[in-house]
A and B are shown apart, each in its own frame.
Chain A
Amino acid sequence: MTGFAIACPIDSGTSGIADHYRATIRETGVPVVQVCNVCISALWPARLRCHCGADDLAWQPAGRNGRIVSRVSVDVPKEEWERFGVSKKMTSRLPYTTVIVEPHNWPGVRMVMLLETSGAAESLTGEVSLGVEIDGTSVVLTAGEV
Chain B
Amino acid sequence: MTAVISGIATLRPQPDVMSSSAMALAACEQACADAGLKPSDIDGIVKLSYDGSISTMALAQQLNLSDLRIDAELPLGGGSVGAMLQMAAMAVEAGVARHVLCFRAVSGQQWMAQVGGPDLHRPYYLDTVNYLRPAGWTGYMHVFAHLFDEHAQRYGTTREALGNVAVDLMANAIDAKVRPATDALTLADYLAAAPRVGPFNVFDQFTIVDTASAAVISAEDPGERPDRPIVEIAATTQSQGVKPMGWYDNSALRGSGLDGAARVVARELYEAAGVGPRDIDVAALYDCNTFSVLYLLEETMLCERGAAADLVCAGGSLRAGGSRPVNTDGGDLASGYGHGFRHIVEATHQLRGTAGCQVPEPTFALVMGGAVGVTSGAILRRGDR
Q: Which residues of A contact B (CB under 8 A)?
A: 14-15, 18, 21-22, 44-46, 51, 69-76, 81, 83-87, 90, 93, 96, 98, 100, 110, 112-114, 138-142
Contact = CB atoms under 8 A, between A and B. Distances in A.
Contacts of A46: 131
B112 to A, nearest CB: 8
Nearest to B143: A72
Contact of B130 (A45, A76, A96): A45
Interface string B125-143: 0000111111111110010
Given A72-B198, A83-B116, A45 B136 contact: no
Contacts of B196: 74-76
A112 B145 contact: no
A84 B196 CA distance: 14
B133 A18 contact: no
A80 B4 CA distance: 43
Nearest to B243: A51
Residue among A21, A69, A93, A98 with the highest chain B CB neighbour number at 10 A: A98
B153 A73 contact: no
A18 B130 contact: yes
Given A18-B130, A72-B198, A75-B195, A98 B123 contact: no
Contact of A69 (B142, B150, B245, B246): B150
A110 B112 CA distance: 28
Interface of B: 112-113, 116-118, 123-124, 129-139, 142, 145-147, 149-150, 153, 194-198, 243, 245-246, 248-249
A85 B150 contact: no
Closest 8 CB pairs of A and B: A18-B130, A70-B149, A45-B131, A72-B198, A84-B139, A72-B145, A114-B135, A70-B146
Contacts of B135: 98, 112-114, 140-142
Contacts of A81: 138
Contacts of B131: 18, 21, 44-46, 112
A85 B117 contact: yes
B134 A141 contact: yes
A22 B249 CA distance: 22
Given A85-B133, A141-B135, 17 more contacts: A18-B131, A21-B131, A70-B150, A71-B146, A72-B146, A73-B195, A74-B142, A76-B197, A84-B116, A84-B139, A86-B137, A100-B248, A110-B249, A112-B135, A113-B135, A114-B136, A139-B134
